[in-house]
Amino acid sequence: MIMYKKNQSIYIALFLAVFLCFSCDSKDDDRVSNDAIIYLTVMDENDSPVIEVPGDGETLLKLQAKIPVNADAKYRKVTFRTSNGQFLSSTTNTMYEKTVDANGIAEVFLKVPLNHDPLFLSAEIGADANKYISEQHITLLNVGEIINLDILDNNGNPISSEIRADGNTILTVKATVNFNSNAIGSIKFITSAGNFLGINNANSTVAINGNVATIQLKVPKTVGGVYLRAEALTNSNIFKNGTLPLTRAFADNIILEPSRLSIDSSDDLVIINTYLTRNIGYVSIGSTAQYKAFQLDNNNNEVEVGRFTGLAEAFTNDSSLISSVKFVPDTGDINFTEPIIIRVSARNDNDQEIQRSFILNN
């Protein structure tokens, strides 16, 4: 019995020595290669070795580690590691431990990440000075556009005409996820202007449904480009940008509110509050109007009189109001006993002139 234990110990010692060399001499060309101790093979689902796969967040790789069939028990547990991706049925994404079978083989499955960074894989046995590692490098191919971003009308159809900055039009912003929508889970929408319906800030998160996430955007009253972004909630490096050009929403109507309707002298200023309005929605911020003051001569010809101040600042604010303009009757060309007509004009969406007037000293 004692002799049996002694022989067994000798056998184990000799086996471990095989991990280091075929014979007992120390010549480098007689040493056993690391690959003879443990070798990692990376395969696709059809068991074909691979060195590159799409970085689509969905492709599965089979990692197979093989060690000598008669390896000691303490070398029979293989630790698999990955620089990215996720091992299936593992509580930790980047490490998986598995015991080899009777043939000295352990296999695990890895779902590749959704990116095209290099993927480093390894399988190791043993510990400390008696640790043996086999490593492989897999190239993840760029899958191209992961997210597509479309700007559609309120019914989800392609936009067929220019969109005006009227503060009222509602559009549909649609993100289509081409790869691994389950892993991405949700899309974060971001806008530089306007408001997503139902929230008060410039970003909103929407769950992906059937690889699509949509949100509705009410356009602002500011002319120019609205910059939109759809990004993966789980990885802000996965995104798609888009631009929505907005043209000016011109007025359909003019409302005038003068501070007075009669003047007697050159000191009597008239403040003219001008509202530019639309039948639907609002005029764009920064819309302008033109002002003219005149009296009629004996032939009913218009003769301009007086002057206006504040014309350089005569643009609508967020309330569609121009409040800077004042009529100043100090030019010496006014007959205060005759009516003075103040006419305000603007352009509509069809580039037609619209007008509204009021009369002083009528």
Q: What pLDDT was estimated at residue 25?
A: 41
How many structural domains is the chain composed of? 3
Query: How many other C-beta atoms are found inside a 10 Å radius of the C-beta of residue 216?
Result: 16
- Contact by Cβ (8 Å): 214, 205: no
User: Is the residue at 11 inside a domain?
Assistant: no
HEC secondary structure over 190-237: EECCCEECCCCCCEEEEECECCEEEEEEECCCCCEEEEEEEEECCEEE
User: Is the residue at 4 inside a domain?
Assistant: no
> Do 183 and 280 reside in the same domain of the chain?
no
Q: What pLDDT was estimated at residue 129?
A: 87
Q: What tokens does 66 get? A: 């093989």
- Contact by Cβ (8 Å): 86, 41: no
The pTM score is: 0.72
List the domain range (segments joined by +) for residue 350: 253-360
> Do 214 and 238 reside in the same domain of the chain?
yes
> Do 137 and 163 reside in the same domain of the chain?
no
> Do 23 and 133 reside in the same domain of the chain?
yes
The residue type at 234: T
> Do 232 and 321 reside in the same domain of the chain?
no
> Do 181 and 202 reside in the same domain of the chain?
yes
Q: What pLDDT was estimated at residue 161?
A: 93
First to last CA, the chain: 131
Maximum distance among all alpha carbons in the chain? 140
Domain boundary among 141, 170, 197: 141
With a pLDDT cut of 70, the percent of the chain lying above it is 90
Name which of 232, 227, 173 is nearest 197 in CA terms.
173
Q: What pLDDT was estimated at residue 31?
A: 53
> Do 266 and 353 reside in the same domain of the chain?
yes
Strands 302-304 and 290-296: antiparallel
Q: What pLDDT was estimated at residue 346?
A: 98
User: Is the residue at 220 inside a domain?
Assistant: yes
> Do 67 and 155 reside in the same domain of the chain?
no
User: Is the residue at 295 inside a domain?
Assistant: yes
> Do 171 and 195 reside in the same domain of the chain?
yes
Domain boundary among 141, 164, 196: 141
Where does residue 108 fall: left (phi above 0), alpha (psi -120 to 50 degrees), or beta otherwise? beta
Query: How many other C-beta atoms are found inside a 10 Å radius of the C-beta of residue 61?
Result: 22
> Do 34 and 121 reside in the same domain of the chain?
yes
CB-count exposure of residue 190 (10 Å: 0-12, 13-18, 19+):
middle
Which residues in the chain land under pLDDT 70? 1-32, 200-202
Q: What tokens does 212 get? A: 């699509």
> Do 114 and 135 reside in the same domain of the chain?
yes
User: Is the residue at 13 inside a domain?
Assistant: no
- Which tens digit of pLDDT belongs to each residue from 37-92? 999 999 998 899 999 998 988 899 999 999 999 999 999 999 999 999 999 987 77
> Do 277 and 340 reside in the same domain of the chain?
yes
Q: Which residue has the tokens 């046995």?
A: 125
User: Is the residue at 43 inside a domain?
Assistant: yes
CATH code, 290: 2.60.40.1930
Measured CA distances, 164 to 86, 105, 159 (Å)? 47, 66, 12
Q: What pLDDT was estimated at residue 200?
A: 65
User: Is the residue at 198 inside a domain?
Assistant: yes
Cα–Cα distance between 242 and 22 in angstroms, integer? 64
CATH code, 158: 2.60.40.10
Element at 13 (helix H, strand E) = helix 2-18
Domain boundary among 227, 247, 267: 247
Q: What pLDDT was estimated at residue 2?
A: 33
User: Is the residue at 311 inside a domain?
Assistant: yes
